[in-house]
């Protein structure tokens, strides 16, 4: 179907009207998905090359800053390279081109590329690397192998006129407050009297300047997680009818959303190791994997963890997993697996984080689609 000249002109105008997304906006979204403060253990992350104010047209997502990913990024303009692994892991006294890390840093700066490394909290976060790997493998994970931390929770209490309670409640709930387990819109409401005196310059919704007012109000209380807090406050202020909104925020001891490394689940049927390996290779599109040993007994449960296993093999073994799928088995893992009931299956780092990175690509597209941000995946 041939497009009319008018359609082409409208398309060009639409593109010109699109605002450019800054690196800072993308970073805020990434750190909302998996707050770096919940990283365990702390590792280097963040914007390693570039500027938060840089305007970005393309995001290239890759497991690491390989030269293939770098060349893909350099083929575009105004690019952020987003990686699962940091390029710089320790302080550098010099940047030399005859050093692989220095050569890559030089390349990034010469081509004016921005480089952001995800915090390791993304591996443990809901919907992150570990969850995504388990889902692609068809593993109905029932729990984390190793709980790492809990996201702090707060309670927001806002004083609202009776006729605005529903609007404020809905705004807060849609922004993420009031979630307890599988329930949403959870709140407590108590009626009372509020007092205030509008002063000179005020534009009160209710009452008169210089006169003490006593009004019926409802105290609306909701739980909210740390990462949703600022968004909930903004939503409450926007929905509330008063010029000045009275609200309190205070920390609570309730354990919030659990972050944990690794996932484990039972298989519908006991299967041989060869069947597990075939399923892993097919699901992740990898040609070969490395196994610690070949047991004679069938496998009834699987555990999986993205990236370097970091001591998770022993957790999988103690949980009774027949096989532990990891992105990087350590020498200690292999020694522990020797004559063990748990097989180590090493799929490689890139393959282990690929499902999570592809999910992240989709999330970025959905969030920044209206801005025309291009998202590319570089294996």
pLDDT, residue 5, reads: 52
C-alpha span between 297 and 352 (Å, rounded): 26
Question: 152-251 domain in CATH 3.30.465.10?
Answer: no
pLDDT per residue of the chain (379 residues) written in tens, 0 to 9: 445 555 555 554 454 456 789 999 999 999 999 999 888 888 899 999 999 999 999 999 999 999 999 999 999 999 999 999 999 998 889 999 999 999 999 999 999 999 999 999 999 999 999 999 999 999 887 789 999 999 999 999 999 999 999 999 999 999 999 999 889 999 999 999 999 999 888 888 888 888 898 999 999 999 999 999 999 999 999 999 999 999 999 999 988 888 999 999 988 889 999 999 999 999 999 988 999 988 888 999 999 999 998 889 999 999 999 999 999 999 999 999 988 899 999 999 999 999 999 999 999 999 998 999 999 999 8
The domain limits of the chain are 5-119+356-377, 129-148+260-347, 152-251
Fold topology of 129-148+260-347: 3.40.1390
| Beta carbons within 8 Å of 150's beta carbon, 6+ residues apart | 255, 256, 257, 258, 259
CATH for the 5-119+356-377 domain, from 3.60.20.10, 3.30.70.3270, 3.75.10.10, 3.40.1390.30: 3.40.1390.30
Q: Output the pLDDT for position 9.
A: 53
Backbone φ and ψ for 37, nearest 5 degrees, come out as: -65, -15
Q: Would you state the pLDDT for residue 13?
A: 45
| Residue 44, CA distances (Å) to 41, 126, 254, 274 in order | 10, 21, 29, 38
Domains 129-148+260-347 and 152-251 share a fold: no
| C-alpha distance from residue 265 to each of 273, 283, 299 (Å) | 16, 17, 12
């Amino acid at each position: 179907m041939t497009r009319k000249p008018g359609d082409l002109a409208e398309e060009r105008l639409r593109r010109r009207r699109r605002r450019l997304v800054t690196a800072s906006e993308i970073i805020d979204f990434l750190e909302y998905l998996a707050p770096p403060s919940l990283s365990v253990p702390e590792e280097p992350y963040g914007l390693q090359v570039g500027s938060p104010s840089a305007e970005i047209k393309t995001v290239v997502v890759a497991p690491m800053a390989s030269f293939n990913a770098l060349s893909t990024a350099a083929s575009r303009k105004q690019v952020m390279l987003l990686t699962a692994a940091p390029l710089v892991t320790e302080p550098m006294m010099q940047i030399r081109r005859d050093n692989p890390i220095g050569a890559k840093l030089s390349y990034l700066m010469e081509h004016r590329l921005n480089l952001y490394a995800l915090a390791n909290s993304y591996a443990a976060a809901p919907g992150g690397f570990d969850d995504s790997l388990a889902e692609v493998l068809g593993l109905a994970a029932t729990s984390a192998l190793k709980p790492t931390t809990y996201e702090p929770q707060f309670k927001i209490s806002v004083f609202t006129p009776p006729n605005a309670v529903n609007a404020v409640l809905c705004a807060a709930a849609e922004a993420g407050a009031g979630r307890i387990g599988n329930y949403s819109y959870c709140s407590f409401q108590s009626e009372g009297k509020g007092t205030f005196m509008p002063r000179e310059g005020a534009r009160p919704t209710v009452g008169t300047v210089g006169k003490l007012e006593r009004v019926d109000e409802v105290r609306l209380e909701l739980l909210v997680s740390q990462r949703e807090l600022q968004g909930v406050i903004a939503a409450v202020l926007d929905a509330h009818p008063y010029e000045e909104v009275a609200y309190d925020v205070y920390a609570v001891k309730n354990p919030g959303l659990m972050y944990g490394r690794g996932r484990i689940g039972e298989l519908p049927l006991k299967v041989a190791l060869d069947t597990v390996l075939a399923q892993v290779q097919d699901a992740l599109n990898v040609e070969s994997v490395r196994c610690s040993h070949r047991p004679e007994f069938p496998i009834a449960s699987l555990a999986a963890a993205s990236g370097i296993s970091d001591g998770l093999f022993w957790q999988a073994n103690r949980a009774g997993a027949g096989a532990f799928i990891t992105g990087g088995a350590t020498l200690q893992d292999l020694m522990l697996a020797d004559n063990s009931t748990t097989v180590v299956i090493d799929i490689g780092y890139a393959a282990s984080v690929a499902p999570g990175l592809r999910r992240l690509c989709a999330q970025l597209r959905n969030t920044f689609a209206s801005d025309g941000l291009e998202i590319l995946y570089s294996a």
